[in-house]
Amino acid sequence: MITDSTSGSSIDLTELRRTLITRGTMILFLTSLILFLPAGTLNYMEAWIWIAIWFIPALFVVRHFLKTDPNFLAHRMKVKEKEKEQRSIQQFGFLVFIIGFLIPGLDKRYGWSSVPIEIVIVSDIMVFVSYLIVIRVFKENRYASRVIEVQSHQKVIATGPYSIVRHPMYVGSLLMFFFTPPALGSYWALIFSLLYLIMIMARIIGEEKILLKELNGYEEYTHKVRFRLIPGVW
């Protein structure tokens, strides 16, 4: 049992581990289901490689933070948004995510796309790079949460990737979602990457309204780091 420094509440490490194992197993099972079931086969090498790239690093990251900062993991377990607008965006994003992962399996079954192995390999590398970006964000900002909130004693982070863009975690997320379709051997699923970009942009706009209102120093930070997501563009 440890004390959460941001809220003063206690965190049960045993319960946290149980939650992480349960949720991780469920995500792995559901992800495999929506990839292999539409494909109609387990002979889907692109999917096996992508799953390994996505889940194996996660095991090491979770193990690291369990030892060094379980508070951070506990906050990452929160998934329910407080704002109605953000809940709607979250629901839209979940729908895009599910459909975006169903299409590659169907593409595999019916042969809609013919993605060269070179593009698959480069895309797998970029998926891993996007993972590294997110991990770098976690290292720099222990306030990074799945939901939009300003925690007690939270401060503006302006170092590392936050000195380049204001929302580097979304950069990693967007890159991962963009390169996942070709990594899975599908061009058609790229359509949903564009919808994911729209969702991310809407989420950032809503998030910044809250940060400008509730986080001291954030307005000054926006003057220093001009771009939200893409340097030189937006």
Sequence ranges of the domains in the chain: 2-224
* pLDDT at residue 7 in the model: 47
* pLDDT at residue 127 in the model: 96
Is the distance from CB of 46 to CB of 119 less than 8 angstroms?
no
* pLDDT at residue 75 in the model: 78
* pLDDT at residue 72 in the model: 84
Q: What is the DSSP string of 162-228?
A: GGT-S-HHHHHHHHHHHHHHHHTT-STTHHHHHHHHHHHHHHHHHHHHHHHHHSTTHHHHHHHS--S
DSSP H or E segment with residue 170: helix 168-183
Which CATH class for the 2-224 domain?
A: mainly alpha
* pLDDT at residue 109 in the model: 97
* pLDDT at residue 151 in the model: 75
Is the distance from CB of 229 to CB of 161 less than 8 angstroms?
no
* pLDDT at residue 125 in the model: 97
* pLDDT at residue 148 in the model: 66
Tokens of 66: 């369990």
* Tokens 């720099």 -> residue: 140
What Rg, from alpha-carbon coordinates, does the chain have? 19
Q: Of 38, 169, 194, 173, whose CA–CA distance to 107 is shortest?
A: 38
* pLDDT at residue 146 in the model: 66
Q: Of 220, 224, 200, 201, whose CA–CA distance to 211 is shortest?
A: 220
* pLDDT at residue 10 in the model: 62
pLDDT along the chain (234 residues), means of 10: 50 86 93 96 97 92 89 78 77 87 96 96 96 91 73 85 95 94 96 89 91 93 95 90
